Amino acid sequence: MLPMLSARLLLCLVLLLAPPAWAGSVTLLLSDSTGPYAEFSSNFSEALNSRRWTIHLVPKADAYTPGAPPTDLIVTAGSEALRQALQRAPPGTPILATLLPRQAFERLVGESARPGRRLTGVVLDQPPARLTAFIRYLLPGQTRIGLLTSPETRTFLSALRQSSGNLQFDSEDVDNDTALLPALNGLLPRVGALLALPDAAIYRRDNLKSILITTYRQQRPVIAYSSAFVTAGALAALYSTPTQIARQAAELIEQPGTLPVIVYPTQFAIAINANVAQALGLNVPDEASLRRSMLGEGGR
């Protein structure tokens, strides 16, 4: 009887001494009210515990007015939402930023004139180990992978190389639009595939067509970071959906303790363009097989 009582007493003490889960009001600030932001908003509201949290939705970032109503936490979706929050929110209000690349998060935080704010970014970039595992399972015969990098994504290259295994990464720097195609044409003959990082300085809408045409002419597959990129003509993509990011954001809010500045997605999705694979003469695994292989080695 005594050991049982002691165990119950210990459990009570642990529950009493554990830091309480945060609760209060959340301002959900969207860069836009449509597309991925609408998907994020509906899933975030569904995932967050409504008994402990009240959510005030601001569907357009430029309509945000601080203190109306007062909030304990700001959750932003997209780069413009984070920009407005950094400019307008009271310095003491924590911000959880989502749905933006790591480079955009770090640039906006660096431009902010209010240091010392509590900030966490759930970035769209996949963790390097997961990304290299995806490449190995997708193209097991390819060991040399090319990247186009800008000043904001060069640092990610070293992280990839640390997780590379048998992969070798070759890169070309692109500092401006004029240098894009010469850099790409110089890189492709040296590599077996092009890995596209979520770099807005390079992979902009007005550049995608020329990049995809050039890689197709040289018979080099593109491994991308979004399903839209795959629809446009990339071979495959490893990415996280707005729904997955929304659920992760809700989980982070519910858990006690201090969050790191950068948080990578815990869940991922895979897209394959079978037509591109056939046109390039590639026999690639299907999405379900790729997922099983990656989860089997701890990819999640």
Q: What percent of the chain has pLDDT over 70?
A: 90
What is d(CA 292, CA 296) in angstroms, rounded to the nearest whole number? 6
pLDDT at 16 exceeding the cut of 60: no
pLDDT at 135 exceeding the cut of 50: yes
6-20, 76-90, 139-153: least confident range: 6-20
Asked if 207 and 181 count as a contact pair (C-beta separation under 8 A), the reply is no
Number of H helices, E strands in the chain: 12, 12
pLDDT at 5 exceeding the cut of 80: no
**Any domain includes 11:** no
Comparing 289 with 161, the larger pLDDT belongs to: 289
What is d(CA 224, CA 229) in angstroms, rounded to the nearest whole number? 6
The average pLDDT across 164-190 equals 92
For the chain, how many structural domains are there in total?
2
**Any domain includes 283:** yes
pTM: 0.86
**Any domain includes 152:** yes
**Any domain includes 168:** yes
The average pLDDT across 239-255 equals 96
- Same domain for 193 and 247, yes or no, is no
3 state DSSP class of 247: helix
Comparing 135 with 177, the larger pLDDT belongs to: 135
**Any domain includes 8:** no
Asked if 276 and 221 count as a contact pair (C-beta separation under 8 A), the reply is yes
3 state DSSP class of 233: coil
pLDDT band at residue 1 under the 50/70/90 scheme? very low
- Same domain for 90 and 155, yes or no, is no
Q: What is the DSSP string of 118-136?
A: -EEEE-SSPPHHHHHHHHH
pLDDT score, position 297: 63
- Same domain for 276 and 172, yes or no, is yes
Q: Which amino acid belongs to residue 241?
A: T
- Tens of pLDDT, residues 164-176: 788 999 999 998 8
**Any domain includes 208:** yes
User: How many other CB atoms sit within 10 Å of the CB of residue 152?
Assistant: 18
Q: What residue numbers bound the domain in which 83 lies?
A: 21-124+242-265
Residue 239 φ/ψ, nearest 5 degrees: -155, 175
Comparing 165 with 180, the larger pLDDT belongs to: 180
35: left (phi over 0), alpha (psi -120 to 50) or beta: left
Asked if 35 and 77 count as a contact pair (C-beta separation under 8 A), the reply is no
Asked if 230 and 223 count as a contact pair (C-beta separation under 8 A), the reply is no
- Apex 61 CA angle, 39 and 241, nearest 5: 25
Asked if 279 and 267 count as a contact pair (C-beta separation under 8 A), the reply is no
- Tens of pLDDT, residues 271-299: 999 999 999 999 999 999 999 998 886 54
- Same domain for 76 and 98, yes or no, is yes
Q: How is the beta sheet containing 222-224 ordered, strand by strand?
A: 168-173, 144-149, 193-195, 222-224, 236-239, 269-272
Burial of residue 206 (number of CB atoms within 10 Å: 0-12, 13-18, 19+): exposed
